[in-house]
Amino acid sequence: MEMTFTLAEIGNAALVVAGVVLLIFLIRLAVVATETLKKTNSVLDDAKKISGIAASKAEAVDSVINEASEAITGIIDSASGAIKGVFSKKDKMEEVVSEAVSEAVEETVKEAVKEEVEK
């Protein structure tokens, strides 16, 4: 029995074999890609949960910082008012002391002049 093949038949057979190999390769590639997509979706879901938790914690921390900032501002305002009050009292005390010293000096000078006049 003798078989003869033409170049066209051999070429077609080679193309069919190559097509089958390519089809098997593409099927395996699709399976791997599907598994990779499942894992990627799982990772993205975890990232979404984590970013949601981080956002809620950031909001909580932000509110705590705002409250602390307001409290510190209140303390600073109170301290500023107290310091102004202290300086105001200090100025009044300086005036009183200055007046008292002036009066004492004036009386001393008057007495000294009076003594000098009497001599």
Rg (CA), the chain: 50
State residue 6 phi and psi, 5-degree precision.
-90, 165
pLDDT of residue 98: 83
Q: Name the pTM for this structure.
A: 0.46
Token pair, residue 102, equals 């002036």
Residue pLDDT tens, the chain, 119 long? 788 889 999 999 999 999 999 999 999 999 999 999 999 999 999 999 999 999 999 998 988 899 999 999 989 988 888 888 777 887 788 888 888 888 878 788 788 777 777 76
The CA distance from 9 to 15, in Å, is 10
**Dihedral of alpha carbons 86, 91, 95, 98, sign:** positive
Distances (CA, A) of 6 to 10, 11, 15, 27, 115: 6, 9, 14, 32, 153
